């Protein structure tokens, strides 16, 4: 009976306000994802780019950019993976110049007391990936051989990106034009390692009005700035790390998997529902006509095929899933993936935009622009596809091109949902068919 009551990953409501640790009413991290999301699509596999399209790391970033509009969370998170590794590998003499940041216990307690919990909810405390398994606020965990597990995720990201044709994350931050990041915040130089990079990161992600400003509360922002002003040790980022890990793991990731299940656009889903309702209507028409005639009542069984087929499709369409596209192991292109222009045209468009003083030539890499640490702001309004897609007719959007679905973990979810739709359709069709077969013949017209 589990197939009848299988639920795709539930939509986790976005917290209204600044970043905070994600919570969900009456649930745990396992309740939120483990039962509905297969291990192949776990948060760790997505972040380490071990999943195939449409669930790869780039697809996750596209979802956060064009759907939820909070891609800076993932961009900053990936930078932290890289930065923590580089700080770990820095010479000990340099690391001693940046002591671990000790949080004021009174301020931490005050901050916890000021957080108003949601009634009937429990915080989602998820197991963090190896990189975050340590309490980085403790300086002792940053020395000695205890840090070997910390490098595992960084290595996995490199291997995963190479395996699927994406270049590995560089061990050094890309140097862009000096005008790209206005020097609004500048900590006094203390010969600390990575001080110039931290200054640029603050001006790019932390300070108000920055190109990729994280949605931090005033108190949290002040806490992070105060910590980074004193040290470049990764423990200064503990607060942001925990909030981003919680948000990405417990909210963005389940919602991303839920969104990836849909294999058709809005136009296709609407047409599919109309088609399914038409089939159900035809089934009723056949059953009524045969009931009113002198034909044998067993001919009415043929209406069951229309009912079952139409009900299966309308149940699947209610969850954004097209049975036909699934049988073909394909999905339709998303709006930002449809391009009838060349890469040169796109690059020329980017050069012509004033993307926060960006010098595109100096920041160009094999990575997609939005995967870069110091890339443009996450505002896609000026991207070429926006105008191109808006000029497309409804008919062209309906028959958008298709692309293969390569991720087996996603296919397994879709298979289960299709079987569920077929099972429910069968349970609805059987009693409906029995009821019509049991009705006496109308004998209104000759056979």
Residues 146 and 107 in one domain: yes
Per-residue pLDDT of the chain (447 residues; tens, 9 = 90+): 466 777 888 888 887 778 876 544 433 434 444 568 999 999 999 999 999 999 999 999 999 999 999 999 999 999 998 999 999 999 999 999 999 998 654 444 444 444 434 334 333 333 333 443 333 333 333 333 333 433 455 455 555 544 444 444 443 334 333 333 444 667 766 789 999 999 999 999 999 999 999 999 999 999 999 999 999 999 999 999 999 999 999 999 999 999 999 999 999 999 999 999 999 999 999 999 999 998 899 999 999 999 999 999 999 999 999 999 999 999 999 999 876 544 444 444 444 444 333 333 333 333 455 778 888 888 888 888 888 899 999 999 999 999 999 999 999 999 999 999 999 999 999 999 999 999 998 888 765
Asked whether residue 432 is domain-assigned, the answer is yes
Residues 237 and 324 in one domain: no
- Note the pLDDT of residue 282: 97
Residues 288 and 162 in one domain: no
Residues 288 and 199 in one domain: no
Residues 250 and 306 in one domain: no
Residues 160 and 270 in one domain: no
Asked whether residue 288 is domain-assigned, the answer is yes
Asked whether residue 16 is domain-assigned, the answer is no
| Radius of gyration in angstroms for the set of CA atoms belonging to the chain, rounded to a whole number | 27
CB 423 within 8 A of CB 6: no
Residues 69 and 177 in one domain: yes
Residues 272 and 233 in one domain: no
The parent domain of residue 44 ranges over 23-261
**Beta-carbon count within 10 A of 17 CB:** 8
Asked whether residue 129 is domain-assigned, the answer is yes
- Note the pLDDT of residue 180: 39
Question: Exposed (0-12), middle (13-18) or buried (19+): which is 230, by Cβ within 10 Å?
Answer: middle
The residue among 261, 294, 316 that closes a domain is 261
Residues 189 and 280 in one domain: no
Residues 270 and 257 in one domain: no
Residues 158 and 44 in one domain: yes
The residue among 261, 283, 306 that closes a domain is 261
Asked whether residue 296 is domain-assigned, the answer is yes
Residues 225 and 276 in one domain: no
Q: Could you read off the pLDDT of 364-413 as tens digits, one per residue?
A: 333 455 778 888 888 888 888 888 899 999 999 999 999 999 999 999 99
- Note the pLDDT of residue 221: 94
Number of structural domains in the chain: 2
Q: Is 376 left (phi over 0), alpha (psi -120 to 50) or beta?
A: beta
**CA neighbours closer than 13 Å in the CB half-sphere of residue 303:** 26
Asked whether residue 351 is domain-assigned, the answer is no
Asked whether residue 121 is domain-assigned, the answer is yes
Asked whether residue 305 is domain-assigned, the answer is yes
CA angle at 67 for the pair 81 and 20, rounded to the nearest 5°: 50
Q: Could you read off the pLDDT of 107-161 as tens digits, one per residue?
A: 444 444 444 343 343 333 333 334 433 333 333 333 333 334 334 554 555 555 4
The residue among 239, 261, 283 that closes a domain is 261
């Amino acid at each position: 009976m589990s197939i009848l009551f299988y639920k795709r990953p539930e939509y986790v409501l976005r917290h209204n306000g600044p970043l905070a640790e994600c919570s969900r009413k009456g649930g745990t991290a396992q309740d939120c994802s483990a039962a509905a999301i297969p291990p192949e699509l776990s948060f760790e596999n997505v972040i380490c780019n071990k999943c195939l399209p449409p669930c790869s790391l780039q697809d996750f970033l596209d979802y956060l950019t064009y759907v939820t509009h909070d891609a800076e969370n993932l961009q900053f998170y990936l930078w932290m993976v890289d930065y923590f590794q580089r700080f770990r590998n820095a010479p000990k003499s340099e690391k001693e110049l940046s002591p671990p940041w000790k949080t004021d216990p009174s301020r931490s307690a005050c901050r916890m007391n000021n957080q108003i919990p949601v009634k009937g909810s429990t915080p989602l405390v998820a197991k963090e990936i190896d990189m975050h398994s340590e309490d980085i606020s403790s300086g002792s965990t940053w020395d000695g051989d205890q840090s070997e597990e910390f490098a595992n995720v960084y290595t996995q990201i490199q291997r995963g990106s190479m395996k699927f044709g994406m270049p590995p994350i560089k061990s050094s931050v890309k140097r862009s034009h000096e005008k790209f990041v206005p020097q609004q915040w500048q900590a006094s130089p203390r010969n600390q390692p990575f001080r110039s990079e931290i200054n640029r990161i603050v001006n790019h992600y932390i300070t108000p009005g920055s190109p990729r400003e994280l949605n931090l509360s005033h108190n949290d922002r002040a806490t992070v700035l105060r910590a980074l002003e004193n040290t470049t040790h990764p423990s200064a980022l503990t607060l942001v790390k925990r909030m981003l890990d919680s948000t990405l793991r417990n909210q963005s990731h389940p919602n991303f998997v839920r969104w990836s299940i849909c294999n058709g656009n809005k136009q296709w889903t609407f047409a599919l529902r109309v088609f399914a309702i038409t089939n159900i209507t035809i089934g009723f028409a056949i059953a009524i006509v045969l009931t009113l005639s002198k034909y044998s009542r067993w001919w009415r069984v043929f209406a069951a095929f229309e009912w079952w087929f139409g009900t299966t499709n309308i149940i699947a369409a209610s969850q954004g899933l097209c049975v036909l596209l699934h049988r073909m192991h394909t999905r339709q292109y998303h709006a930002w993936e449809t391009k009838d222009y060349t890469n040169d045209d796109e690059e020329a468009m980017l050069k012509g935009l004033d993307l926060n003083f960006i010098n595109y030539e100096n920041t160009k890499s094999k990575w997609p622009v939005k995967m870069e640490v110091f890339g443009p702001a996450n505002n896609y309004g000026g991207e070429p596809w926006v105008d191109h897609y808006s000029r497309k007719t409804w008919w062209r959007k309906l028959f958008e091109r298709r692309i293969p679905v390569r991720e087996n973990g996603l296919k397994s979810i879709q298979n289960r949902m299709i079987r569920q739709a077929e099972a429910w359709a069968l349970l609805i069709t059987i009693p409906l068919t029995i009821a019509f077969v049991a009705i006496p013949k109308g004998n209104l017209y000759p056979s």
